[in-house]
Structure 1
Amino acid sequence: MGQVTTSSHSPASTIGQDTMIDHAIQAQGLRLTLGQGPSAVEVLKGVDLSVPRGQTLALLGPSGSGKSSLMSVLSGLERASAGALEVAGSDFAGLDEDGLARARRGRIGIVLQAFHLLPTMTALENVATPLELAGLDGARERAMAELEAVGLGHRLSHYPTQLSGGEQQRVAIARALAPRPSLVFADEPTGNLDAATGQSIVELLFARRAETGATLLVITHDESLAQLCERIVTIADGRIAHDTAATAAPEPTLG
């Protein structure tokens, strides 16, 4: 893999310690409890995290560590049970589900391990339809341009079943980036791909992020993928165990 370009931000401090930094995310005391009564499980146990705009950050940890739950809360897919959270200029802690959906629209892009493409829609329609529903001008043209940027300009009219796994993930990346969000989450983006395809997808994701200047959070259990980010936050048992600057390897091999 070629060298990935990242911005020059260093790991940020927690809320209130450095108000001069322009943050994409500021979280303090985040808790998430799933279930009720005796079966309730606390999966996030007081997480403090600040992410400067434009930073690339990896949330690293094994399955069950809480990293995907943290992404769900930070991205507005799940409401925290307690704590303060500001994302992309919005107070997520004070919003209901409808408010979170409105706050995410156009500001946050999400790439998941499962591609979540609509099987009855073409690649172009899968990217254009969310833009149209959001009321964005030139939705079809923007979708075409984004698919061209991810190397699928020749596959616009193909349905998901006619695309390889790598091509489907490229469509998913195009869909996430087409609204030109300021913040992008990628949750195990190579998890369903073979090593070679996964490496090309990672290169594409980081290249497109560099072009747009978006903040990128990669959720992964893969240390070599995490090293491509300029900062690594390790999650263990629902808490932040380590928060360090990465030492990027020039030619990492994805496992």
Structure 2
Amino acid sequence: MTNSQAAISARNLTLTLGSSEAPVDILRGIDLDIALGSTVALLGPSGSGKSSLMAVLSGLERASGGTLTVAGEDFATMDEDALAHARRGRIGIVLQAFHLLPTMTALENVATPMELAGENDAQDRARTELEAVGLGHRLDHYPQQLSGGEQQRVAIARAIAPRPALIFADEPTGNLDAATGHEIVELLFARRAETGATLLVITHDPELAEHCERVLQLADGRVVSDTQSAKSTA
């Protein structure tokens, strides 16, 4: 796979935290290519480094070493300000804890990031995306007036509305009951299919991982298994 065919390309990617006297190696030489438009699960137990890898791949954390190209941008050489600029519009993130602003309505939570990015039609796009996730009747509700599943639907709408090339989802069902979690997974994959974005899902749940075309197993900061699922040939 060439870089032009890859949404993400990493070589010998490392992340070391802590002090120089007591360094802690979190990522230990990750080599990874993720194809444009693919769905990939990153599976592993707590402490395996999967959330740290997502943070580096999404530009929320700077790698300590190695090379990293994401959505055509050289993330390895950027400082924090440049990474923040590079993420804007290119990368959507869905987190376990929703991270909605409590003083903003559902519509405002989705529209405001696009407005800050200078999008002129942010309100219309936010409304359209909230309708697509089944919340057209909840536009003016605040997070505390929404169920956990509804809050995660708002978070998905917020991530997808700018039409990013890449979507990262870190334990997106972790705060939800099984039935609601299943609905959220189906919705997330349906919206991704509609937009054609590349999706990377971080999870410890093998059932969620089975929705992806490819499953990467992480252990002790390394990729220890890389398998194609039945989805990749369906």
TM-score (norm 1): 0.89
1:103 and 2:86 are equivalent in the alignment = yes
Give the superposition deviation at 1:19: 2.2
Instruction: Write the distance in 2 (CA, Å) between the matches of 1:19 and 1:224.
Output: 31
Does residue 231 (structure 1) correspond to residue 220 (structure 2)? The answer is no
Displacement after TM superposition at 1:26 (Å): 0.3
SS in 2 for 1:38: coil
1:29 aligns with 2:18: no
* Equivalence for 1:122: 105
C-alpha distance in structure 1 between counterparts of 2:97 and 2:21, whole Å: 32
Aligned to 1:109, the other structure's residue is in SS state strand
- Contact 1:21–1:52, Cα closer than 8 Å, also in 2: no
CA deviations over 1:207-251 (Å, ceiling 9, x no partner): 000000000000000011101100000000000000010235xxx
Aligned counterpart, 2:194: 211
Within 5 Å, give how 1:81-100 maps onto structure 2: 81-100=64-83
Aligned counterparts of 1:151 and 1:144: Cα–Cα separation in 2: 11
Could you tell me how far apart the structure 1 residues matched to 2:117 and 2:216 are?
33
Aligned twin of 2:174: 191
Letter in 2 for 1:159: Y
- 1:84-131: CA deviations, max 9, x gaps? 000001000011000000100000000000100000000000000000
Work out whether residues 44 and 50 of structure 2, in 8 Å CA contact, stay in contact via their aligned partners in 1: yes
Whether contact under 8 Å (2:3, 2:9) holds in the other structure is: no
Contact kept, 8 Å, 2:41 with 2:203, in 1: the verdict is: yes
Could you tell me which runs of 5 or more consecutive residues in structure 2 were left unpaired when the two chains were aligned: none
**Structure with a larger share of its residues in helix:** 2
Distance in 2 between residues matched to 1:69 and 1:110, nearest whole Å? 14
Letter in 1 for 2:62: R
CA offset at residue 21 of structure 1? 5.9
- The 3-state SS of whatever aligns with 1:115 is coil
Q: 1:76 aligns with which of 52, 59, 69?
A: 59
Equivalence for 1:19: 2
* Equivalence map 1:144-223=2 (5 Å): 144-223=127-206
Coordinate RMSD, CA, aligned:
1.0
TM-score, normalized by length of structure 2?
0.97
In the TM superposition, residue 137 of structure 1 has moved relative to its aligned partner by 1.9
Q: Is 1:44 aligned to 2:27, yes or no?
A: yes
Shift of 1:38: 3.4
Task: Name 1:12's counterpart in structure 2.
Answer: none
For each residue in 1:179-221, what CA deviation from the matched residue of structure 2 results, as whole angstroms up to 9, or x when unmatched? Answer: 0001000000000000000000000000000000000000000
Measured in 1, the distance between the counterparts of 2:180 and 2:82 equals 37
Distance 1:147 1:234 in 2: 33
Question: After TM superposition, what 4+ stretches of structure 1 lie above 2 angstroms from structure 2?
Answer: 18-21
Give aligned-pair identity as a percent. 73
Paired amino acid for 2:127: M
Q: CA deviation at 1:40?
A: 1.8
Partner of 1:10: none
Task: Tell me how far 1:155 sits from its aligned partner.
Answer: 0.2
